[in-house]
Structure 1
Amino acid sequence: MKTPSQAVARHRTAMARSSLSRPVDFALTDNILAPGRTFFDYGCGRGDDLRALSALGYSVSGWDPGHRPAAAKDVADVVNLGYVVNVIEDPVERLETIRTAWCLTQTVLVVSGRLVWEARNLVGRRLADGIITQSGTFQKFYEQDELASWIERALGTKPVAAAPGIFYVFRNDADQQQFLANRVHTYRPRLRIDPHVTYEQHQELLAPLLNFLTMHGRQPRPGELTVEHECKIKAEFHSLGRAMNLIYKVTDDAHWEKVRIQCQSELTVYCALSRFGNRPRFSQLGAGLQRDIRTHFQTYKNVTTQGDRLLASCGNAMMVLMAARHAGVGKQTPSALYVHRNALAELPPLLQVYEGCARVLCGSTPSANMVKLSVVKPQVSFLTYPNFERNAHPTLASAITVNLRHLTVDWRDYSQSANPPLLHRKEEFVSDEDPRRRLYHTLTRAEINAGLYEHPEHIGTLKGWQQMLRSAGKVVRGHRLYNWP
């Protein structure tokens, strides 16, 4: 990165933060910045991320042309190029910068930039492919797909969307594929364990083995459990096989059959989504993922063939509609299926791929707790309803909408709206296993009995719902309906 010119005050873009920046926060949450990995911040600004990570015990360093120009540019496992490519007005220098950061990267490069929706209320004048703000800084705003394509052209490697405006670029194919496999929604049926003295005596010792069997649906190979756990289990039971026999003795065979089916479904969804970009060869997968595939499908071709069929079905509007209408979870409307995030793993595999296609484009949206799967056009929306659990009728704060036909990602803010959309019948959105589902259902029955749902066209927004409550002389406190005092 060259020394900032007099015309563009790049140093003013460095924000003072009291918490981690979004890209670094995502890298921690996604286990990209795992314990033991080194971290270098290319364009670290005032160094707030460096101080926070250092306090967490990470080995960190950083360089910035305005605030740390004399610092060394260190090679590191994880390199962060956080909101740098959007503040460089020279496209050639912008390209040089990301390539330099890539050369320093040993494992994962984290690249972030500002998206077009952030410019809606920004005042400035045009300069090259961006604008000069009133404070004299330059900002280049990207479409999500535009930023992904630019990164791929610059580095010759397809990035993975971590979140809107944030991408990971992996050095190693196996690391990338394991990350993508881990992003597939997982669901496991509840496990009932029969009373057994020996098992109860060794329950804590057997927990890592039980967790592995539950997640992979197969026996662990040497090295897949920690050496410490494996040695302790063998010391007590003489072999992993005997320990597993005890687990199978106190559990139901039908449970493990359900786990096997679920593992197959998740691997199929992963392989369907691996079509985005260049699907890896089997040899490019990590050893654990290879073993999962061999156990549940015998060959890589078997699972990729099923994955391709699923992906093709997502392009068939009638198949999507039929899958949505026969889904065992979620709320049906004429135009969409709405599902709470705790029930996404219970969707049919086709709909999981449909939702996964949208996440391939936009990445994760942690604040979103509801997903809207359109059945009238290829579109998925990630909706944020703050305080969903506590508020009987939460209102919509924001929506990120991914159009799969046009490959666009858009954001709408409802947080300042005086009359935002509002939810009813919360029990219909969540999993059957949600512990609060009965509470939601009880409130819905009370509201139906009070006649509050007789005109659904009037109650879909906050003001309409409040007016209906006033007209009926009712008030909702917590998740109970009362007569107005």
Structure 2
Amino acid sequence: MQPTWNSERRLTAIARAVLSVPARQALADRQLAPGRTVLDYGCGRGDDVRSLERLDCRITGWDPYYRSESKPQSADTVLLTYVLNVIEDPAERRHTLLQAWELANTVLIVSARLTWEKSKVQGEAFSDGLLTSRQTFQHLFGASELRNYVEEVTGTRCVSAAPGVVYAFKDDAARLSCLAHRIVPDAEWLASEDTASAITALIDHVERRGRPPRVEEMPHNVAELLAHLKPGELRRLVRDSADPAKVIEGGKRTTLNTLLFLAVELFNGRGPFSSLPFSVQLDVRAFFSSYKEACQRSDRLLLKLRDDTYVRGAMNASDVGKLTPTALYVHRRAVDDMPTILRLYEHCASIAAGRPQEWTIAKLKHQGRGVSWLDYPDFDKNPHPRLLSSYHIDLQTLETSHMSYANSANRPLLHRKHEFLTQDDPDAPRYQRLTEAELKAGLYAHPHMIGTENGWEAELIRCGRELRGHRLVRRMES
């Protein structure tokens, strides 16, 4: 049976000036890589199709109203972007998801509007959603509901890529490759245009990864540029040029990243050694006595994640982040420098609920298990950035919540910005000088006052100070 697409769904197809959130996320996660064919199933007006064509994606679009002249063809990657939530018949919704799944050769990317958008949808209860005055329908999904629904219909384990964006892979190796890309930050290679730059890229990779790469791991152009060198010559180049201290540190970092990957994979269902991405297999062979040993160590790491005392100890010992009586707050640039147990904590949350695209600070509770991603879009420009939104997941119940402060007249704001960063962050000294000046001026004398815009402005006036960029100066008399 073909879907009937009954209600006024064409009216939900908005015009886009920029790529949709799911398409941007898929690009970041390399699911729209060059060489892959892409189908936008239910593409609406086709704005994503046109934008991705300009990025050299081999993409076609099909829509029952706007592009129905030809039958949709299978593709490596299929986008099902904000389609499921506009179908009022649950049976048809399920059938549409199955149709899209059958068309996907490698991965199906499903996105839907979430329950936190309910205030934006005005309508009357109808079926399992809302019917608007324009006769359009919206079923708003919970973040975990969408993932569970896609897994149940497709019969495969999924990856929560972002809130309201789920990847369903036809091949488990592709799913693991996606997870590895998110967890192992040392897989990137420097650009190479000639033999000298290819050698530089090789040495850089060895220092960051802690081991020499196999030819199969190299980007194609790097492998071509180094093909005239014999294996012995490459080993000599690495031995003579790589910084031994950096190689040792790279090996330690890769060991921890591998443990983190295996722990996260157990959280999602761990497979045999042969199912691991090739580079991760090589990491296991280089830094562990066996796959069994690596798995045992990662399992112990997961057990420690349940221990409040251990987690709190890791937060106390962390060189990065601001620790409060309830949570550790860490800037996005410093998250990978947290202790491995805390990185695992944040990654498990991202797999369960999807990490939002826009966020600045990760908040990790130390009692119970919950992670929030806080968005301060002007963190680097504003000496006291304002909170725009918060996305939270409770890891005990897997319930998610979202809070927007965009229309708030008295938003929460940050102080002591340097505390959220690593000590060697280039901006940290400038932020710390501001904090010291504010302390000296008495601006932190009433901490209960300064957490919001109005309270902070009142304290600035009381102390006779104002801010010019990241400098505190005496307030000019009016």
**TM value normalised by structure 1:** 0.93
Equivalent in the alignment of 2:216: 223
Tell me the SS of whatever aligns to 1:65.
Answer: coil
1:264 aligns with 2:264: no
**Alpha-carbon distance between aligned partners in 2 of 1:124 and 1:427, rounded to the nearest angstrom:** 46
- Closer, same or farther: CA 405–226 of 1 in aligned 2, 3 Å: closer
C-alpha deviation, 1:251, in angstroms: 4.5
1:325 aligns with 2:316: yes
Q: Tell me which of 393, 396, 399 is aligned to 1:405.
A: 396
Asked whether the equivalents of residues 329 and 346 of structure 1 are also in contact (C-alpha less than 8 Å), the reply is: yes
Asked whether the equivalents of residues 158 and 168 of structure 2 are also in contact (C-alpha less than 8 Å), the reply is: yes
Asked whether the equivalents of residues 187 and 345 of structure 1 are also in contact (C-alpha less than 8 Å), the reply is: no
Contiguous gaps of at least 5 residues in structure 1: 189-200
C-alpha deviation, 1:228, in angstroms: 4.3
Equivalent in the alignment of 1:472: 463
C-alpha deviation, 1:364, in angstroms: 2.5
C-alpha deviation, 1:321, in angstroms: 1.1
- Closer, same or farther: CA 112–226 of 1 in aligned 2, 3 Å: closer
C-alpha deviation, 1:202, in angstroms: 7.0
Equivalent in the alignment of 1:160: 159
**Alpha-carbon distance between aligned partners in 1 of 2:230 and 2:68, rounded to the nearest angstrom:** 58
Equivalent in the alignment of 2:3: 2
Equivalent in the alignment of 2:109: 110
C-alpha deviation, 1:203, in angstroms: 4.8
C-alpha deviation, 1:270, in angstroms: 0.8
1:304 aligns with 2:295: yes
C-alpha deviation, 1:122, in angstroms: 2.4
Equivalent in the alignment of 1:365: 356
- Closer, same or farther: CA 255–4 of 1 in aligned 2, 3 Å: closer
Asked whether the equivalents of residues 62 and 72 of structure 1 are also in contact (C-alpha less than 8 Å), the reply is: no
Asked whether the equivalents of residues 210 and 249 of structure 2 are also in contact (C-alpha less than 8 Å), the reply is: no
Asked whether the equivalents of residues 173 and 285 of structure 1 are also in contact (C-alpha less than 8 Å), the reply is: no
Deviates more, 1:366-375 or 1:66-75: 66-75
Task: Trace 1:1-80 onto structure 2 (pairs within 5 A).
Answer: 2-5=3-6, 8-80=7-79
Asked whether the equivalents of residues 211 and 247 of structure 2 are also in contact (C-alpha less than 8 Å), the reply is: no
Q: Tell me which of 435, 453, 463 is aligned to 1:444.
A: 435
**Alpha-carbon distance between aligned partners in 2 of 1:221 and 1:285, rounded to the nearest angstrom:** 16
TM-superposition CA deviations, 1:247-272 (whole Å, max 9, x none): 44344422211111100001111111
Asked whether the equivalents of residues 186 and 205 of structure 2 are also in contact (C-alpha less than 8 Å), the reply is: no
Equivalent in the alignment of 2:201: 208
Q: Tell me which of 424, 427, 438 is aligned to 2:418.
A: 427
**Alpha-carbon distance between aligned partners in 2 of 1:227 and 1:30, rounded to the nearest angstrom:** 20
Asked whether the equivalents of residues 180 and 277 of structure 2 are also in contact (C-alpha less than 8 Å), the reply is: no
**Alpha-carbon distance between aligned partners in 1 of 2:448 and 2:232, rounded to the nearest angstrom:** 60
**Alpha-carbon distance between aligned partners in 2 of 1:226 and 1:124, rounded to the nearest angstrom:** 52
**Alpha-carbon distance between aligned partners in 1 of 2:310 and 2:82, rounded to the nearest angstrom:** 40
**TM value normalised by structure 2:** 0.94
- Residue identity opposite 1:30 in structure 2: D
**Alpha-carbon distance between aligned partners in 2 of 1:351 and 1:379, rounded to the nearest angstrom:** 12
- Closer, same or farther: CA 227–125 of 1 in aligned 2, 3 Å: closer
Count of residue pairs the alignment pairs up: 469
- Residue identity opposite 2:248 in structure 1: E
TM-superposition CA deviations, 1:441-471 (whole Å, max 9, x none): 1111111111111221111111111100001
Q: Percent identity?
A: 39
Runs of 4+ residues over 6 Å off in structure 1: none
Tell me the SS of whatever aligns to 2:183.
Answer: coil
**Alpha-carbon distance between aligned partners in 1 of 2:66 and 2:359, rounded to the nearest angstrom:** 35
- Residue identity opposite 1:36 in structure 2: G
**Alpha-carbon distance between aligned partners in 1 of 2:96 and 2:157, rounded to the nearest angstrom:** 18
Equivalent in the alignment of 1:350: 341
Tell me the SS of whatever aligns to 2:166.
Answer: strand
C-alpha deviation, 1:428, in angstroms: 0.6
- Closer, same or farther: CA 124–227 of 1 in aligned 2, 3 Å: closer
Asked whether the equivalents of residues 399 and 413 of structure 1 are also in contact (C-alpha less than 8 Å), the reply is: yes
Equivalent in the alignment of 2:191: none
**Alpha-carbon distance between aligned partners in 2 of 1:82 and 1:101, rounded to the nearest angstrom:** 11
- Residue identity opposite 1:56 in structure 2: L
Deviates more, 1:225-234 or 1:365-374: 225-234
Tell me the SS of whatever aligns to 2:448.
Answer: helix
**Alpha-carbon distance between aligned partners in 2 of 1:152 and 1:223, rounded to the nearest angstrom:** 32
Asked whether the equivalents of residues 3 and 95 of structure 2 are also in contact (C-alpha less than 8 Å), the reply is: no
Asked whether the equivalents of residues 36 and 76 of structure 2 are also in contact (C-alpha less than 8 Å), the reply is: yes
- Residue identity opposite 1:205 in structure 2: A
Equivalent in the alignment of 2:264: 273
Asked whether the equivalents of residues 187 and 346 of structure 1 are also in contact (C-alpha less than 8 Å), the reply is: no
Task: Trace 1:184-263 onto structure 2 (pairs within 5 A).
Answer: 184=183, 186=185, 203-233=196-226, 235=228, 238-263=229-254
Tell me the SS of whatever aligns to 1:319.
Answer: helix
- Closer, same or farther: CA 480–132 of 1 in aligned 2, 3 Å: same
Asked whether the equivalents of residues 385 and 394 of structure 1 are also in contact (C-alpha less than 8 Å), the reply is: yes
TM-superposition CA deviations, 1:218-252 (whole Å, max 9, x none): 112233224543353353xx434434434443444
**Alpha-carbon distance between aligned partners in 2 of 1:381 and 1:181, rounded to the nearest angstrom:** 23
**Alpha-carbon distance between aligned partners in 1 of 2:225 and 2:18, rounded to the nearest angstrom:** 41
C-alpha deviation, 1:214, in angstroms: 3.4
- Residue identity opposite 2:212 in structure 1: Q
Contiguous gaps of at least 5 residues in structure 2: 188-193
Deviates more, 1:213-222 or 1:421-430: 213-222
**Alpha-carbon distance between aligned partners in 2 of 1:171 and 1:408, rounded to the nearest angstrom:** 27
For the aligned residue pairs, the C-alpha RMSD in angstroms reads 1.8
Asked whether the equivalents of residues 233 and 240 of structure 1 are also in contact (C-alpha less than 8 Å), the reply is: no
Tell me the SS of whatever aligns to 1:410.
Answer: strand
Tell me the SS of whatever aligns to 1:433.
Answer: coil
Tell me the SS of whatever aligns to 1:183.
Answer: helix
Q: Tell me which of 451, 464, 481 is aligned to 2:472.
A: 481
**Alpha-carbon distance between aligned partners in 2 of 1:370 and 1:91, rounded to the nearest angstrom:** 38
Asked whether the equivalents of residues 14 and 45 of structure 1 are also in contact (C-alpha less than 8 Å), the reply is: yes
Equivalent in the alignment of 2:141: 142
Q: Tell me which of 441, 444, 460 is aligned to 1:453.
A: 444
- Residue identity opposite 1:75 in structure 2: S
**Alpha-carbon distance between aligned partners in 1 of 2:62 and 2:405, rounded to the nearest angstrom:** 38
